[in-house]
Amino acid sequence: MTRSMKGLVKALALGLAAACSLAAVSGATAEELSLKGKRIGVSAIGTDHYWDLMAFKGIQDRVKELGGEVIALDAGRKDQQQIAQLQTLIAQKPDAIIEQLGNLEVLNPWLQKIRDAGIPLFTVDTATPHAINNTTSNNYNIGAEIALQMVADMGGKGNVLVFNGFYSVPVCKIRYDQLKYVLTSFPDVKIVEPELRDVIPNTVQSAYSNVTDMLTKSPEKGSIGAVWACWDVPQIGATQAVEAAGRNEVKTYGIDGSPEVIKMVMDPKSSAGAVAAQQPYEIGKTSVDNAAKYLAGQKVPPFTFVPSVLINKENAAEKGKPFLDAAEKAGVK
């Protein structure tokens, strides 16, 4: 699909070039985005996770592709550092700032300061009123789809272990709320209280021990039907824990599509039930395109959704491969 799209873009570009040379027009057209002579600040809360790294890379590659200069800042998962970086960035007065993930409560006052300084703000996966555009996946869809897949696999009844440590991260809030909404239609599917807390760092180890503890607490087979997390790194630990405990009736569900997790879903013997795979690299690139369009005076919608794919046990062999190929191409494992 992506290949045919590329072909289409190429054909369009060729056609346009021909049209331009015919008419001898030298102005920038809608398709010829450029960031020549522009400085774009990029601030990410961290890049220790596959998704974050791919999106961060996508942004930087695209800015360079369009001829712009990029000021790339990785806060190493430290709020304090991200705020300091944003503060200095504001003083540097770039032509636009792209902000990627983080705690909204912490960020919002500073995103406001970016706008107050007259710098156009774009966000990746971060819904905030201060951004001109937020480029992301359709998390409302993703949240509902993964929840429905889980309910279907469970046969409409059973208990779910839910990791809910990052409700303050906007995308996690949406996915969790969608899960809850789907479950209102399936009263026999119950979330085990208290919910589990996923953490950063040591996400996998911590998820592993949390799930192991819960399985020990409910030793009868079938007492727990699924494990859900709003991203897929806890899913790795959960899947390993389920398998180590020999509780293969429990399936795990997550979101993002890290190569490791896609491979798990592709493995028929693995307990990973499904993962909603996003295209973080494309998301990063698209946010830059939006910034470029805005700087060229074009209208930009408040949000842009980049398609995602639900990979489950049935379609994994076919749908999983393009994502693994994309990861390999970007050189991120």
Partner 1 sequence: MSATVLHTEVGVSDEKQAAAKSAGRRFGALVVRLGAIAAFAAIMAYFVIFAPGFTSTFNLINVVEQSAILGVLAYGMTAVIIGGGSDVTEGGIDLSIAANMGLCAAVYATLLSMGYGDFLSVMAAIAVGMAVGALNALAVVGLGILPLLATLAVLNVAAGMELTLTQNTVVGASSPLLGVLVSGSFFGISALAWALIVFSAVMIVVVHGTSFGLRLYAVGGHPEAARAAGISVPFYVSFTYVLSGFCAAVASILTVSRLSASTPGSGELLLSVLAAALLGTVFSRRFVPTMGGTLLSVLFIGLLANGFQLLNVSSYWVNGVQGALILLVVAITSFARGSEGSR
Note whether 53 and 332 are within 8 A (CB): yes
Which candidate, 186, 194, 174, 182, places its Cα nearest to that of 127?
174
CB nearer partner 1, residue 57 or residue 319: 57
CB nearer partner 1, residue 22 or residue 91: 91
Pairing type for strands 309-312 and 272-277 reads: antiparallel
CB nearer partner 1, residue 29 or residue 87: 87
Place of tokens 């899960």: 179
CB nearer partner 1, residue 106 or residue 127: 106
**Minimal distance, residue 76 CB to partner 1, in Å:** 8
Query: Applying CB under 8 A, which residues contact partner 1?
Result: 69, 71-81, 83-85, 87-89, 91-92, 103, 105-106, 108-109, 165, 167-168, 197, 199
User: Over 123-160, what HEC string results?
Assistant: EECCCCCCCCEEEECCHHHHHHHHHHHHHHHCCCCEEE
In the chain, % helix, strand, coil (3-state, to 5) comes to 50, 15, 35
> Quick one: tokens of 10?
């190429």
CB nearer partner 1, residue 175 or residue 319: 175
Note whether 32 and 292 are within 8 A (CB): no
**Minimal distance, residue 105 CB to partner 1, in Å:** 5
**Cα separations (Å) of 312 from 131, 230, 253?**
34, 16, 9
Which candidate, 154, 216, 219, 221, places its Cα nearest to that of 191?
154
**Minimal distance, residue 78 CB to partner 1, in Å:** 5
**Tally of CB atoms within 10 A around 193:** 6
**Minimal distance, residue 75 CB to partner 1, in Å:** 8
**Minimal distance, residue 108 CB to partner 1, in Å:** 7
CB nearer partner 1, residue 195 or residue 260: 195
**Minimal distance, residue 199 CB to partner 1, in Å:** 6
CB nearer partner 1, residue 41 or residue 58: 41
CB nearer partner 1, residue 165 or residue 280: 165
End-to-end CA distance of the chain: 23
DSSP strands (E only) in the chain: 39-44, 69-74, 96-100, 121-124, 133-136, 158-162, 189-191, 226-228, 251-256, 272-277, 303-305, 309-312
**Minimal distance, residue 118 CB to partner 1, in Å:** 15
Amino acid present at 172: C
> Quick one: tokens of 218?
């409910």
**Minimal distance, residue 91 CB to partner 1, in Å:** 5
